[in-house]
Amino acid sequence: MSLIKSISGIRGTIGGKVGDNLTPLDIVKFASAFGTWLQAQKGKKDITLVVGRDARISGAIVSDLASNTLQALGINVIDLGLSTTPTVEVMVPELNADGGIIFTASHNPKEWNALKLLNDKGEFINAKEGGEVLALAESENFEYIDVDHLGEYTQNEEGIQTHIDKVLELPAVFPGIIREKRYKIVVDAVNSTGGIAIPKLLERMGCDVVKLYCEPNGQFPHNPEPLKEHLSEICELVVAEKADLGIVVDPDVDRLALVDENGELFGEEYTLVAVADYLLRKQKGVAVSNLSSSRALKDLALSLDSEYYASAVGEVNVVTLMKEKQAIIGGEGNGGIIYPELHYGRDSLVGVALFLTHLAEQGKSVSDLRRSYVSYFMGKKKIQLTPEINVDALLERVQEEFKNEEISTIDGVKIDFPNNWVHLRKSNTEPIIRIYTEAKTQEEADQLADDMIAKIKTLI
């Protein structure tokens, strides 16, 4: 089965059987559910949604099916066309819309697509709301509008430009000092909409851009998740072009990875660290990331007389805690930058602008900037359990075993040791405990995971 229904939307592979994959009937059903739910929330039929898509091959089909379905409910649709996830998030309130849908499967391969659901603030709907939409989809209790009251469909091609304008107008972004540096930057946008947005942003800041896979045709030339093993080409091209840095984004442009002038990865975890460094130097405040993100952000915040808090894993949880703590910067260790001065969503465009401003102000190379931060290394393993084992009870025994350490239980069990940490999370679909670790060396991180697996086996 390749159809995943979650609180944030529906995701699946194109083709196959209804209910098993993301078929036209599944798209229509889920768009109907969200539209009907939103009409009930607003207390009227005549509402407006903003939609936009990444460059996936299936994007136009999925967008047209969903948009036509929304119109059949009497909902007005403003279509941004080829866009980015953060652009749609910005444009929902900009256009005074009642919500939005982004058609993207983020970093998943090209056969995947998804509908991601936004409220009237341009933020992902929460768990309770998502559950209500899922229940409505299962009930199929929809009522479509008569022919005289169909929703209107309009196109808006200004979304990315408006987004860029808003980024460059931010008080913390200084295009002038970036322009003085005349940075030469290689961009790998995996042939999706980052190939439209990121070069335009960089050119507005006076950078020389070398494009690698910036044609938005949906033909991903490598695995679209911006991890080291997928990025050898841009690392080599940065060196060959004698560029100052490389920028990598995923298909919907909410994750940002950087490459230094030597062709070495800056580290996705450190995208957020560098941006937080810049902002917290200017204004003491609060930084937030999730429990599985690097300790480097906490170290940085405390070194700058600021505060740090960790949320449960998931963008919605990060945003909720950011609002509660009035954080000035937050995000996730996968390169997701959330800067509430613009909006509460992961945004590679604002991440690029803030990082380059910081780099220009510091007057350092990208590699020198990276060396200024303490290095941590992460490990990821899992332990397979038998179906009859009560995973929750097992995690409670782990918690008791390490009760003298600093422990968080807001999302599984995270144990903070003085020099490293381990985070245990159970799978929602199978008897597995996922084990995330971080330490000062890769060997230590991997050993910590192995030691925890051994300990768990003694507690079963």
- Annotated catalytic residues are 106
Q: In this structure, what is the dihedral angle of CA atoms 281, 285, 289, 294, given to the nearest 10 degrees?
A: 40
Name, in order, each residue with C-beta under 8 angstroms of 324's C-beta and a sequence gap of 6 or more.
Answer: none
**Cβ neighbours of residue 145 closer than 8 Å, sequence gap 6 or more:** 45, 72, 73, 74, 151
d(CA 70, CA 32): 7
Annotate 225-278 with DSSP letters as a single string.
Answer: S--GGG-HHHHHHHHHTT-SEEEEE-TTS--EEEE-TTS-B--HHHHHHHHHHH
| Longest Cα separation, the chain | 68
CB 444 within 8 A of CB 453: no
- Under a CB-based contact definition with an 8 Å cutoff, are residues 90 and 343 in contact? yes
Neighbours of 229 (CB within 10 A): 8
CA distance 416 to 413: 10
User: Do the strands 184-188 and 245-249 form a parallel or antiparallel pair, or are they unpaired?
Assistant: parallel
The C-alpha torsion from 61 through 161 and 197 to 85, rounded to 10°, is -50
